[in-house]
Chain A
Amino acid sequence: MSPLDLLVAVPLALMIAAVLLGSRGRLLLLAAIPVMAGLTVWLLLLPEGTAHIVGDWNLPLGILLRADGVAQLLVAATSACASIIGLYALREFAPGPSGSETAHGYAFWPLFYLLWGGANAGFLTTDLFNLYVALEMVSLAAVAMAAMGSLRAALQYFVVALVGSLAYLLGVALLFANYATVDITLLAGTARPDLATKVALAVMTAGLLIKAAVFPLHGWLPPAHAAAPAPASALLSAIVVKVGFVILLRLWFEAFPAIVAPAALDVLGWLGALAVLYGSIQAIRQETLKALVAYSTVAQIGYLLLAFPLVVTAAGSDRAWAGMTIHAIAHMLAKAAMFLAAGLMLKAVNGHRLEDLSGLVRVMPLTVAAFGLAAISLMGLPPSAGFIAKFLLLEAALEQGAVFQAAILLVGGLMAAVYLFNPLSRTFAGRDTPVTEAKDTLQTAAPLALGLLAVSLGFAGQAMVDISAGVSQAGPPAAAVGEVP
């Protein structure tokens, strides 16, 4: 028994149940949460570098599942986000008052579990083709959820996501032809800096940058994320973009670190810096709340890439690695909290503009608090997971004399403060705005729980750094490798 496969199998089993039952079966979530939580804890407790093959088939034929630090952290954050977003969605995607079900109410639940299982599958596998299938599971669910908000935006998202997947698949094809394996741990041992490898790495990276919405390939994200229903936006921004990011990590730092030119990493770092600046400026310019939060995602993804050049340089690279990974999960939790809180606030005022938020702090203080907690983490202010991440990155940058990255980190944080305190201060404005408060306890608690988690993880910095360091770069476990032709 191992959580590595159950973390995928359980959501898939639940998807089957949801296809059969639809929104009538949505309370299955209450069983899913403790089971997934248990599996997640189990995953976190596994000894470092735990890995096993699926079935009885050794590499290079089979598929290796592995619990490294990145997988552990991201799966754990995904479990937390998905569980809480699911609880929030219980009311959003429920049968109507007359008991009649809508297509959205039905379809959300299977797609939700498909996304959850797909994300876990992606985080836990070391096989590039397996990652392709996982990527498509997640993309499919994501586009369908985006379509619940805006069909147009979803269509654009769909085409872009398809192109991204295909670019990735093209690279997988070239790599397989070149190495007769698509397993990351095997590739790490045999990687050669030849033309096919370089082309493969380039097209895969391009595809994944699209999927992760990295500037300037981000265009699809803001409309899709902003228009979707709140729980869908939360899943999209928190989890979906991270799958592409993790594959980038696998490629650049696990499969091909030996042949990657520093200049290439610098290019990615530059893209990240541009994304931080561009996303922040756009976020500052937005007048509607959800568009602001969506552009913030573009900016926050930038930090992940900004860290790439810092990870390979020798001094402080472990800190940069930890900072980057922790930033990924901090953003997951905070952004999920923020989208859910935004959804509640906008529903309460029946509007979507920043100025509609007037006076909300007096009517729904807990929801505004959730937004504020998430904002603290996104701005990278203490005490929050976002701060830990930014602090580690800053330290790594300054240790390596990367003043440019350090400056971007700090300026990005300030810009985040500008765009996030804008809606927050609107909630303090005015005297007595008449609003209808959403009284649902569960929906109020959901963003608050995520926000508190994002902030309180700031006290667990040491533990997160320790987990993130668990990388088994030494290649696959000997037992998993069969005869290599």
Chain B
Amino acid sequence: MPTLMHLYPLTGAALVGLGLYGIVTLRHPLRQLLAVNVVGAGIFLILGGLGRGTASTDPFPQALVITGIVVAVALTAFGAALVVRVAEEERARDDTAAVEATGDSA
């Protein structure tokens, strides 16, 4: 039975779909990371939004959401560092390749 209370969790469902679209279609890993965070936010909205009572929101899912947010930021930070490191390594490889190429032509 749809109610007004379903608005936020439905928004969460939309975010899940949107985020997944981003993960699939975006090729840059940093953008994918951003999309992953959108999916996460959507899931949190579902988790918290479906715990809403008439007067209050269930503190139990709230706590789960906070835990989830912290886990998400931890993983995002590592992912971002990994993205930078990969770019760095590829840059170094390109540089080496460029040096070798010029060395050959000389």
Contact = CB atoms under 8 A, between A and B. Distances in A.
Determine direct contact between A and B, CB below 8 Å. yes
Chain A interface mostly helix, strand, loop or mixed? helix
Contacts of B7: none
Interface residues of A, number: 25
B7 to A, nearest CB: 15
Contacts of A363: none
Contact of A173 (B32, B43, B86): B43
Interface residues of B, number: 31
A166 B86 contact: no
A44 B78 CA distance: 37
A61 B60 contact: yes
B61 A176 contact: yes
A158 interface: yes
Given A155-B86, A176-B64, A177-B51, A166 B39 contact: yes
A24 to B, nearest CB: 24
A170 B16 contact: yes
B91 to A, nearest CB: 12
A152 B90 CA distance: 10
B36 A162 contact: yes
A144 B82 CA distance: 9
B82 A176 contact: no
A27 interface: no
Contacts of A133: 67, 71
Contacts of B23: 159, 163
A115 interface: no
A474 B22 CA distance: 43
A329 interface: no
A152 to B, nearest CB: 6
8 contacts: A129-B67, A151-B82, A151-B86, A152-B86, A155-B82, A159-B29, A162-B36, A177-B47
Interface of B: 9, 16, 20, 23, 29, 32-33, 36, 39-40, 43-44, 46-47, 50-51, 60-61, 64, 67-68, 71, 74-75, 78-79, 82-83, 85-86, 89
Given A158-B79, A163-B23, A172-B47, 16 more contacts: A61-B60, A129-B67, A143-B78, A144-B78, A147-B82, A147-B85, A151-B85, A158-B78, A159-B23, A166-B39, A170-B16, A170-B43, A170-B46, A173-B50, A174-B46, A176-B60
A-B CB proximity, top 4 nearest:
A177-B50, A173-B47, A173-B46, A151-B86
Interface of A: 61, 129, 132-133, 136, 140, 143-144, 147, 151-152, 154-155, 158-159, 162-163, 166, 169-170, 172-174, 176-177
